[in-house]
């Protein structure tokens, strides 16, 4: 008698741990990435499922060093690399926006850069695996 009671407890515990499927009404059980400011129900922010930069990295403001560039920021790369990427972007004609264009892109070594016309100039974001660089290029 004791053996069957123990077996029933083990089976119930296994079913409890395994769960019994989705509790929703129809639809997909696929999860979606959290939206900005989402929480996990306990008031703490959800963890990103695929971060752009390595864990522990942070955004660092760097001195631009060029009058026509401002707001240089680097994530998971040093300021020297960020500055060199920014200067290289400014000197590479294929990276600038074409006449009348509001968006553009180019490659600079491992970095892939995207540029978007903004009120204050051209917002540029260059990313490579594990880090990125962002700045504003003022129009001449």
Would residue 118 count as lying in a domain? yes
Domain span at 78: 59-137
Q: Taking the complete model, does pTM exceed 0.85, yes or no?
A: no
Is 101 inside a domain boundary? yes
pLDDT for residue 58 = 75
Number of Cβ atoms within 10 Å of the Cβ of 78: 12
The whole-number pLDDT of residue 67 equals 74
Return the pLDDT at 49: 38
Evaluate whether residue 74 is within a structural domain: yes
69 belongs to a structural domain: yes
In the predicted model, residues of the chain with pLDDT beneath 70 are 1-57, 139-140
Nearest-angstrom CA–CA distance, 96 and 90: 7
Please name the residues in contact with 124: beta carbons below 8 A apart, sequence gap of 6 or more. 86, 89, 113, 114, 115, 134, 135, 136, 137
Q: How many domains does one find in the chain? A: 1
Dump pLDDT digits (tens) for 66-76: 778 889 999 99
């Amino acid at each position: 008698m004791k053996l069957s009671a123990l077996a029933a407890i083990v089976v119930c515990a296994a079913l409890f741990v395994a769960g019994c499927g989705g509790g929703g009404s129809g639809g997909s059980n696929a999860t979606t990435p959290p939206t900005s400011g989402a929480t996990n129900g306990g008031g703490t922010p959800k963890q990103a499922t695929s971060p752009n930069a390595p864990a522990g990295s942070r955004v660092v403001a760097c001195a631009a060093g060029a009058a026509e560039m401002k707001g240089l920021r680097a994530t998971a790369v040093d300021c020297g690399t960020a500055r060199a990427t920014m200067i290289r972007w400014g000197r590479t004609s294929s990276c600038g926006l074409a006449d009348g264009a509001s968006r553009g892109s180019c490659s600079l070594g491992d970095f892939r850069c995207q540029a978007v016309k903004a009120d204050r100039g051209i917002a540029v974001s260059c990313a490579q695996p594990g880090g990125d660089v962002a700045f504003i290029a003022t129009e001449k």
